[in-house]
Structure 1
C-alpha cells in the first residue's frame, strides 16, 4: 500500500486497520475501477487488452520519498498511536517499524521482516486474548439459543420516547423492523422523533447511510400517543422511567392490548424482571432487553431471563438481537444483571478514593493507563450522578454485605451537581472549560489502578460463582462490550486468572481488612 498510496496514507490505514468502502478505496488510490459483479469478467478481459493503467503518486506521497521525510512521517504516526493507545497495544507500533524497514527492502526481505513481526506478536498474551474475544463474539453474534423455537420479528412497539426509547426505535427501524413508538406525551414523542431525525442526519453526514436509507428508516417509524391495539407486534419493548410501580402499570396495560404470543420486554438497567413478570397472567413471555446508551454505538444487549421465561421467548429474543446487529449475552435475572453489577462497586470505590483526598484526575488517569476508555469519575459524570445514585441504591439494597451507599453522591445530586448534563459533577463541563493539568504520583497511580482492577475482577468472580451467565466467560465479553474493559486483557476474569487465584486472594484479604466495612474486597 506504500507504493500505491504513499507512506502517510498507507501508515494511516495500516495502524488503524480501517476498512474502506469501494468508492473510498478508489478515492484513496487503492483501486482503479469499481465494476458491478455481473460485468466483472468482461471488464477484466477488456482491461487486460488495454494494459495496466498508469499510476501517479499524490503530492504527499512524492514528498514522503524525500530524504528524512520518511522518518519524520513515521515519528508523527508513532506519536499519534502512543497518544491514542498509551502504548498498551504493541501491534500498531510494530506495524510502523515493519513498514519503514520493509518498504525500502527487496520483496523477499520485506516479507521476512513482516513474517518475523507477526510471529513475535502472535506469542503475546494480548494476541491470545484478542483472538479469544473474536471467537466469543462471533459465537454470540451467530449461534442460536440451543433450546426453543425463535419466532421472526417484523413488527415491534417501543413504549417511551425518551433518550433510550428513541434510540431503540431508531435502531430497530434502521435494521428493517417496522416500529410503533408510543408515549402518553405528545411533546415527548416530538422530541423523540427529533432525536431520531438527528441521528439519521448525522449518519448521512458521515456517509454511514444514504439519503434513501434515511427515508426508508423514517417510513418504518410511526409515533402514537393513544392506546391503540398492539396485536400485530411480535415484540414490545418498554423503555420508561426506572420506577417499578410505573413499569407494572405499563405492563398490565400492554398485556391487555397485545396478542397472546407477543414477547413483552423491559429495558430496565437494574430493576427485577422477575418481580415485573410475576404481576402478569403469562410471565413466561416476559424478558429483559437491556440496551446500552447510546444505542447506535454500544454493541451489547443483555438478555435477562427469569425462572418463568420460556425457551421460545429466549430463542426469539436472541435471534432478534442478532438480527439487529448487536451482541446478545443471556443473563439470569439478578440485581444489576452483569455489567452494572460488576461496574457499580468499582465506581463506588472510586468515589470513596476521591473522598479520601485523591484528585479525580489521578483516579481517572490510573484507569486510563490500565486501558479503560474513560476514568470512573468522568464516566459517572457522563452517566449522570442521579442515575448512578439510583442504580447504586438498588444494588446496595440487594447486597448490603459488601456495598455501601455513597453520601457524597447524594449530596452532589441534592445540590444540582448531576454531571455533564448539569454542567458540573466531579468535573466542570462546557465548551469553555479547560481540563486541569495535574502532576501524578506514580506510586499513587499504581495503588489506585490495582485496587480498582481487583474490585472489577472480584465482582466478576462473584457473578461467575452465582452462574449468572453460561459459560462464565460471557461475563468477560459483556464487560468488554458494555464498559470498554481493555480487550487486550481479555476481561476481568481473564485478568484475574493471569494474576493468580492465590495472589488475588491475599491482596483482596489485605484490602478488605484495611477498608471500612461494608466493602467489596472480601474474596469471591
Structure 2
C-alpha cells in the first residue's frame, strides 16, 4: 500500500499482474458518493506526493470504488469559503492547482477510469490525466455555471485544449452532463466500454502508452500549451458564443459569459498563466450575490430531496394510479404518470373529456418524439400506460387516486365520496385543489386518514413542484404514499399543512394585492410588468394573471379574503368601504379572462408556433382607468418594494404558522411553483440579503401608509432586534 486515507487509497499492481502500475481509488468512507471536500483534496495532495516518492512506477490508474466516480466539490463548504474573501479563495485555488498539476506532470502515463458520474471537480480530476476511459453508462461535465461560478480547478484551461474551444464553450457555458458516446466523439474520452471491462481497458491504454504505441507526452504537451487558434478563429469562436450565451442566460446570470471570457483570455497563454486567469474570475464570481444564492438554492434542494426520500422509505409503493377528471389537467397528470412508468386510469363522465385528456397526453408524447427523446415504439408503449374509462370498473386495484375535477367544493365533495366507495380500504385519495381546504373536503369521507391534497401546477409536465397537503386527519402513511408517487412522477414534492391557498397560492395573493393597490394608485400595469420582469420574474403580475385566468384568480382571491380578511380583504369581489371593485373583478365582469379567451390585461394572438403572444390592448388600458382612485409617481424601487414585501411577509407567516417546515422548503416551493427568481434565492433568502432589520423598517413604513398588507409580524420584529436571519451559512437550516 502506497497511501491509505479516509477517502483515498493508492496501491501497487493491477489485474494484469504488473507491479509497475499504481491504482489511486476514491472511496469516501461513510458516504454514498465521492465528493471533493477540503479534507479529501488535502488527502489527494498527500496521495500524489506518496506516488511521486514511490520508486519503480510506470503508470497510474485513477478510479472509484463507488457507483459514481466523483460528483464534484463538496458544495456544503462553499458559503463558508466564499465568506472568507478573495485572498482565501485564491489560496485554495492555488493549492488545488498545485495538486492537479502534480498529477498532470507525473513522469509516466496516467489514465482515469470513469465508472459513473464525473462532474465538476470530478471531471477536472479526470482532465489532469493523459487518457480517460468511460463506462457506457458514465457521464461527464462541468456544471459550475449553474451555481453562478465557473470551473476553477483547471476545467476552463484543460477542456478547450482537449476537445476544442467551441465544444468546451458549449459544455462549460451550458453546464451539461454529457454521455460517454458524446465524450468519445469530442475527444474527452479515449475509449468507451461496458462497465465490467473498465479496469482492463484502462490497463490496456497504459500498456500501449508504456510501449510507445500511444504518445502520452505529446497529448500532455498539447494540454499544457496555448490553444491553436488564430486571431480570426478566436474572434469567430468566442465573440459569437458570448453574444448567443448572453442572450440565453440573461443579465442576471453572468457566469456562462464569464467562463467564455476566461477561455478566450487564456487561449494564448501557457498553463500557469491560463490558470491564474481562471482563478481570478472564479474568485470574482464566488463573491457575488448570485453565486451565494444559487449555491444556497442547491443546498435547499438537497434539504427538500432528503425529506422526500425519508417519506419515500416509509411508503407503500403506488403500482396503479387513477385520475378523476380528464381534460387538460387530467391529461397532463396521466401523461406524467405514464411517462415515468406508473400505469394510470383516466376517468371522466364524458367521452369528449376523455378524448381531450388523451389528446393532451398524445401531444406531449409526440413532442418527446420530435425532440428525439423517445422513439415511436417507446411512445406507443408509454401511451398504453394510460387507460381511459367512463366507469369505476377497475378501481378496486388502484393504490392512489388523484381527483382533478373543477375547483368547486360541491363538485369535489361529490366525486370524492363517490370514488371512496369504489376503491380498497387502503387506497389513498388525493385532491388536486389549489385553494379548497383539505380538512373541509375530508368531512364527508369515511376514511379521512387516507386523504390529502396533491396540488400540481400548470402545465403539469413542466412545473416541478407538487404540494402535498396534510389535513387535520391525514395520516403519515397517506402523506408518505403521495410523496413517493410524486417523486416517481419526476416531481419535487413539498409537504405543507392545510390552510386557505396552502403555501404557494397563499404567498402569491398578497403579491397580487400589492399589484392591485399600485394600479388603483395610478401605476401603469405594463410598467409594473416590465419592472418585475427586469427584477427577475419570468412574467410580470398582469401577464401572470392573464396566464392563470382572471376567473380562477378572482375565485381564489375570495378564498384568501375569507381566510385572511385582515390583510387580504381587498382580494374579494364585495369590498368594504367606497373603494369599489378590484382590478381583477373588473376584468372578470368585462369577460376579460386572460389567455383562455384571448383578452385580459393584454390581447393575445397566435405566433408562428401556435402559442399565444401578448400584445398591448388599448381597451384594457381604458378599462383599468375605472379603478384608478389617485395618481402617484412611483420609482422602480417603489414598485419592487410594494410587490415583494407582501409576498415575503406572507412567506414568513407561513413559516411561523407551521404551514411549511423550514426556510429551505418555503423558498424552493416559490422557485419551483411560481418562478421566484432563482438568482435571488427565494423570499426568505431575499429578506436575509436585505437584512431583517432593514426589511422590517421598510415594511413598517409602507404599513403606516398603506395598511396591514405590509405589516411585519411580531416575531420578525424580534428577529430584527436580535440580529437573527433565516439562514445560517454554516448549517443552511
TM-score of the aligned structures, taking structure 1 as reference length: 0.89
| Structure 1 alignment gaps of length 5 or more | 56-63
The number of equivalent residue pairs is 511
Q: Is it true that 1:479 corresponds to 2:670 in the alignment?
A: yes
**Match of residue 496, structure 2, among 309, 314, 331:** 331
The aligned residue for residue 297 of structure 1 is 462
Matched, 1:499 2:690: yes
Change (3 A) 1:411 1:23: farther
Q: Which has the larger radius of gyration?
A: 2
Distance 1:282 1:26, change over 3 A: same
Whole-Å separation in 1 of the counterparts to 2:614 and 2:553: 25
Displacement of 1:89 in angstroms is 2.2
Is 1:370 the equivalent of 2:528?
Answer: no
1:398 Cα offset (Å):
1.1
Aligned to 2:293: 129
Is 1:467–2:658 an aligned residue pair? yes
In structure 2, the CA distance between the partners of 1:462 and 1:115, relative to structure 1 (3 Å rule), is same
| RMSD over equivalenced CA pairs, Å | 2.8
Compute the displacement of 1:40 (Å).
Answer: 4.8
- Distance in 2 (alpha carbons) for counterparts of 1:14 and 1:471: 33
Match of 2:514 in 1: 349
| 1:395-443 per-position Cα deviation (integer Å, ceiling 9, x unaligned) | 1121111111263222222322211222221112113668569xxxx97
Three-state SS of the structure 2 residue aligned to 1:265 is strand
Cα 1:146–1:9 change in 2 (3 A) is closer
Shift of 1:198: 0.5
Q: CA deviation at 1:490?
A: 1.6
Separation in 2, partners of 1:434, 1:230:
43
Q: Structure with the greater relative contact order (CA < 8 A, sep ≥ 6): 1 or 2?
A: 1
Confirm or deny: 8 A CA contact 1:147 1:311 kept in the other structure.
no
Going from structure 1 to structure 2, the CA distance change for 1:446 and 1:85 (only over 3 Å counts) comes to farther
* Inter-partner Cα distance in structure 2 for 1:508 and 1:252: 45
Asked if the contact 1:184/1:225 (under 8 Å) is kept, the reply is yes
2:403 and 2:430 in contact (8 A); partners too: yes
Deviations 1:228-287 (A, max 9, x none): 241211101100100000101001111100000000000101111100112111111110
Name the counterpart of 2:425. 260
Match of 1:429 among 598, 604, 614: 604
Q: Deviations over 1:317-369 (max 9, x none)?
A: 22222222211111000111111111111123224323433333311121122
Is 1:247 the counterpart of 2:422? The answer is no
SS in 1 for 2:603: coil
Q: How does 1:94-493 map to 2 (within 5 A)?
A: 94-143=258-307, 144-145=309-310, 149-403=314-568, 404-405=570-571, 407-431=582-606, 444-493=635-684
- Return closer, same or farther for 1:104/1:212 CA change in 2, 3 Å cut-off: farther
Which string of whole-angstrom CA distances, capped at 9 and with x for unpartnered residues, describes residues 174-193 of structure 1?
11111111000110001110
Q: 1:9 to 1:446 in 2, by over 3 A?
A: farther
SS of the residue 1:429 aligns to: strand
Stretch of structure 1 that moved more, 22-31 or 328-337: 22-31
Secondary structure of 1:280's partner? coil
In structure 2, the partner of 1:13 is 171
Name which of structure 1's ranges 278-287 and 321-330 shifts more when overlaid on structure 2: 321-330
Distance (whole Å) between structure 1 residues aligned to residue 417 and residue 615 of structure 2: 49
The whole-number CA distance in structure 2 between the counterparts of 1:452 and 1:434 is: 22
Q: Give the distance between the partners of 1:450 and 1:167, measured in 2 at CA.
A: 36
Whole-Å separation in 2 of the counterparts to 1:133 and 1:331: 19
Q: Pick one of 698, 711, 719 that aligns with 1:522.
A: 711
Helix, strand or coil at the partner of 1:257: coil
1:172, 1:179 within 8 Å by CA — same for their partners in 2? Answer: yes
User: Judging changes above 3 Å, is the alpha-carbon distance between structure 1 residues 121 and 218 closer, same or farther for their aligned structure 2 residues?
Assistant: same
Q: Is the 1:300–1:326 Cα contact (8 Å) retained in structure 2? A: yes
Q: Residues 227 and 436 (structure 1 numbering): CA distance in 2 closer, same or farther, change over 3 Å?
A: closer
Does the 8 Å contact 2:703/2:710 carry over to 1?
yes
CA 1:139–1:505: 2 relative to 1, 3 Å: closer
Verify the 8 A CA contact 2:242 2:257 in the aligned structure 1: yes
Contact 2:545 2:553 in 1 (8 A): yes
The range that moved more, 222-231 or 184-193, is 222-231
The C-alpha deviation readout for 1:198-238, integer Å capped at 9, x for no partner, is: 10010111123333432221121100012324121110110
Alpha-carbon separation, structure 1, partners of 2:430 and 2:252: 39
Please list every run of 5 or more consecutive structure 2 residues that lacks an aligned counterpart in the other structure. 1-158, 220-227, 572-580, 608-612, 618-632, 714-733
Q: Where does residue 59 of structure 1 map in the other structure? A: none
State the Cα deviation string for residues 150-204 of structure 1 (Å, max 9, x = none). 1111101110112111111111111111111100011000111011011001011
Aligned to 2:624: none
* CA separation of 1:39 and 1:393: change in aligned 2, threshold 3 A: same
Once the two structures are superposed, residues 279-304 of structure 1 have per-residue CA deviations (whole angstroms, 9 ceiling, x without a partner) of: 11111111001111111111111110
Task: Return the alpha-carbon distance in structure 1 between the equivalents of residues 270 and 634 of structure 2.
Answer: 48
In structure 1, distance between residues paired with 2:557 and 2:179: 44
Question: Using the alignment, how far apart are the partners of 2:524 and 2:238 within structure 1?
Answer: 36
